[in-house]
Amino acid sequence: MSTPVEQKISHAAPELLYETARKKLYELEDLMSFYRSSSQVSLLNESAEKTEVPLSEELLFVLGKAQEHAQFSRGAFSIMLAPLVQLWKLSCAENKVPTHEAIAATLPLCDGDNLQLQRASKTAALKKEGCKIDLGAIGKGYAADVCCDIYQSMGASSAFINLGGNVKALGSRPDGDPWLVGLQHPDKPRGVCFAALQCSNQSVVTSGAYERYQEIDGVRYHHILDGETGYPAKTELKSVTVISSSSLEADALSTAAFVLGLDEGLSLIKESDCHGAVFFTSQNEIYLTKGIKRQVILTESFACYEA
Ligand code: ADP
Ligand code: MG
Is the pLDDT score of 103 beyond 90?
Answer: yes
Is the pLDDT score of 226 beyond 90?
Answer: yes
Q: How far is the CA of 163 from the centre of ligand 2 (A)?
A: 12
Q: Which of 302, 248, 252, 249 is nearest to 280 (CA)?
A: 302
| Percent over 70 (pLDDT), the chain | 100
Is the pLDDT score of 92 beyond 90?
Answer: yes
Strand 296-298 to 193-199 pairing: antiparallel
| Percent over 90 (pLDDT), the chain | 95
* Atom in ligand 1 nearest the alpha carbon of residue 259: 23
Is the pLDDT score of 94 beyond 90?
Answer: yes
pLDDT on residue 1: 83
pLDDT on residue 39: 98
Report the chain's mean pLDDT, rounded to a whole number.
97
Residues sharing a CB contact under 8 Å with residue 34, sequence separation 6 or more, in sequence order = 41, 42, 45, 82, 132, 134, 135, 136
Average pLDDT for 78-89: 98
User: What is the pTM (predicted TM-score) of this model?
Assistant: 0.97
- Each residue of 291-300: pLDDT tens digit? 999 999 999 9
pLDDT on residue 2: 84
pLDDT on residue 212: 84
pLDDT on residue 11: 97
Is the pLDDT score of 210 beyond 90?
Answer: no
pLDDT on residue 98: 97
Backbone angles phi, psi at 159, to 5 degrees: -160, 170
245 — pLDDT class (breaks 50, 70, 90): very high
Average pLDDT for 228-236: 96
DSSP string, the chain: --S-EEEEEESSSHHHHHHHHHHHHHHHHHHH-SS-TTSHHHHHHTSPTT--EE--HHHHHHHHHHHHHHHHTTTSS-GGGHHHHHHHHHHHHTT-PPPHHHHHHHGGGG-GGGEEEETTTTEEEESSTT-----TTTHHHHHHHHHHHHHHHTT-SEEEEEETTEEEEESS-TTSSPEEEEEEPTTS-TT-EEEEEEESSEEEEEEESSSSEEEETTEEEES-B-TTTSSB---SEEEEEEEES-HHHHHHHHHHHHHH-HHHHHHHHHHSSS-EEEEEETTSEEEE-GGGGGGEEESS--EEEE-
298 CB burial (10 A radius; 0-12, 13-18, 19+): middle
Angle at the Cα of 249 from the Cα atoms of 149 and 122, rounded to 5 degrees: 75
Strand 296-298 to 5-10 pairing: unpaired
Q: Cα–Cα distance between 275 and 133 in angstroms, integer?
A: 28
Q: What sign has the CA pseudo-torsion 98, 214, 94, 2?
A: negative
- Each residue of 260-287: pLDDT tens digit? 999 999 999 999 999 999 999 999 999 9
Q: How far is the CA of 287 from the centre of ligand 1 (A)?
A: 22
pLDDT on residue 239: 97
Average pLDDT for 148-172: 97
Evaluate: CB of 160 within 6 angstroms of ligand 1: no
Length of the chain: 307
- Each residue of 39-66: pLDDT tens digit? 999 999 999 999 999 999 999 999 999 9
Evaluate: CB of 67 within 6 angstroms of ligand 1: no
Evaluate: CB of 212 within 6 angstroms of ligand 1: yes
Q: How far is the CA of 13 from the centre of ligand 2 (A)?
A: 32
139 — pLDDT class (breaks 50, 70, 90): very high
Task: List residues, by chain if needed, whose CB lies under 5 Å from ion ligand 2.
Answer: 137, 251, 255
Is the pLDDT score of 211 beyond 90?
Answer: no
